[in-house]
Amino acid sequence: MTYLRRHALGAAALAVIAGGALVPGRADAEELTLCWAAWDPANALVELSKDFTAQTGIGMKFEFVPWPNFADRMLNELNSGGKLCDLMIGDSQWIGGGAENGHYVKLNDFFEKAGISMDDFAPATVYAYSTWPKGEPNYYALPAMGDANGWFYRKDWFSRPELQAEFKAKHGRDLAPPKTWTELKEVAEFFQGREIDGKTVYGVSIFTERGSEGITMGATSALYPFGFKYEKTPGKYDMEGAVNSPEAVAGLEFYKELYKCCTPPGYTDSYMQESLDAFKSGQVAMAMNWFAFFPGLYKDPVVGGDKIGFFVNPGQLVEASTLGGQGISVVSYSSKQDKALEYIKWFAQPDVQKKWWSLGGYSCHLAVLNDPSFPDSQPFASDFLLAMDNVMDFWQEPAYAELLLAMQKRLHDYVVADVGTAKEALDALIRDWTEVFEDEGKL
């Protein structure tokens, strides 16, 4: 997940901070400020961090910014060398800019002295949240919040005998969570316009938002399983034949077909909150969203409990999920780096990571993920493990803002605004990205 606009500047940078919770410490000098987005996992981190204060006497302040303004606010803070944040949980795509622009402290020496091994964390999260250049053993963050785009569905609707019988007669298989995008579309079409409990319902809510990152995060959930790749050769920026491959074209065409056939009316600019609203209000049979929201959904008094089910992003040619999630970094402009590193050391402990999971955070530590009890610890835990085994992420280049905005425009124009063909959209995207990489001196 990203939520970034060019250079993180503009009016949105003046967004009101949603957080500001304080875990009392001994004095202002003994307080750390941690910056993150305002959402359920952040509330869990406030609760978890009370243990850090109890053990160290160091108080914790939190600056939590709503997702639509998070990147604008926080990247503006970093770009200006601001001292608000001692610790930052920044998105995976920020790691390149954080490293190359000197915003984040390189953690290799600290990890060695503190006995923190990146081998103790899920490899995909280390690669995505911590390293720059990608895959090199240069660490600028500790994996903090694992996440991927997943799915949830109305389990109570799927289990109705009359719907089960009708679906099986039509498709020759049980009405169940889909394993492929083809099956997902069949299920979505089955529910589209159907009357359930006296109310017209729709097949699916997917991401279509243009302003930040929404349609990119949604469409790549289809593109990746269909075979889309950013480069033919990793690190070579050879995009022709990868970004616009026949498989990529088929994936984008499929996403548009799903949008056109099976979403609620007027669903032209939707992202996280709109997807949650559509599901909670009983409009849709299935919805995509980040795993981070699943604990809250399961607890929802109206659609949670035995009414909701979860499934991993469907495959097609390959199994793949769109990566979300973040690492936690020490901000280089902080005057309290030693204390911030103390927090990192504390947070990395297996016992702390286990409590983090129990409170609603998504641990990346193998002591948690490899525990035999983990798959049964939550109804979505096993799907989370499957997702994190095959995640793919957007460009993590320092210029990723420009790269992202180009993809947002090309995808939204094609999927929602009916401009051109999928092949034309992806060809144009290659031209956009080539220009960015030429400006960066990488082509």
CB 91 within 8 A of CB 63: no
- DSSP helix/strand/coil, 88: strand
Q: What is the pLDDT of residue 51?
A: 98
pLDDT at position 272: 95
| 273 Cβ contact list (under 8 Å, min separation 6) | none
pLDDT of residue 25: 39
Residue 14 lies in a domain: no
* Dihedral, CA of residue 27, residue 32, residue 35 and residue 39, to nearest 10: -70
pTM > 0.95: yes or no:
no
Query: What are the distances in angstroms from CA 210 to CA 94, 151, 228, 243, 248?
Result: 20, 21, 20, 19, 20
User: pLDDT for 205-242, tens place per residue?
Assistant: 999 999 999 999 999 999 999 999 999 999 999 999 99
Residues 357 and 278 in one domain: no
Angle at which helices 40-56 and 350-359 pack, to 10 degrees?
140
Same domain, yes or no: 418 and 280: yes
Q: Do residues 104 and 139 share a domain?
A: yes
Beta carbons within 8 Å of 368's beta carbon, 6+ residues apart: 350, 353, 354, 356, 357, 374
What's the pLDDT at 112?
Answer: 98
- Please tell me the distance from the alpha carbon of residue 376 to that of residue 40, in angstroms, as a whole number: 21
- 290 found inside a domain: yes
> 159 and 138, same structural domain?
no
Q: Is residue 274 part of a domain?
A: yes
Q: Which residue positions in the chain have pLDDT lower than 70?
A: 1-29
- 383: containing domain: 31-147+325-392
pLDDT score for 263 = 98
Instruction: Assess whether 84 and 230 both reside in one domain.
Output: no
Cβ-contact 407, 2 below 8 angstroms? no
Cβ count within 10 A of residue 19: 19
Q: Give, in order, the Cα–Cα distances in Å from 403 to each of 135, 219, 252.
A: 21, 15, 18
> What CATH number should be reported for the domain holding residue 403?
3.40.190.10
Q: Spell out the alpha helix ranges (H) of 101-213.
A: 108-114, 123-129, 155-158, 161-171, 181-191
In this structure, are 139 and 282 located in the same domain?
no
Predicted local distance difference test score (pLDDT) of residue 246:
98
Is 241 within 8 Å of 306 (Cβ atoms)? no
Claim to verify: residue 252 and residue 218 sit in the same structural domain:
yes
Instruction: Name, in order, each residue with C-beta under 8 angstroms of 51's C-beta and a sequence gap of 6 or more.
Output: 352, 355
Torsional sign, CA 156, 157, 160, 165:
negative
**Residue 30 pLDDT:** 85
Residue 175 and residue 311 share a domain: yes
In this structure, are 431 and 288 located in the same domain?
yes
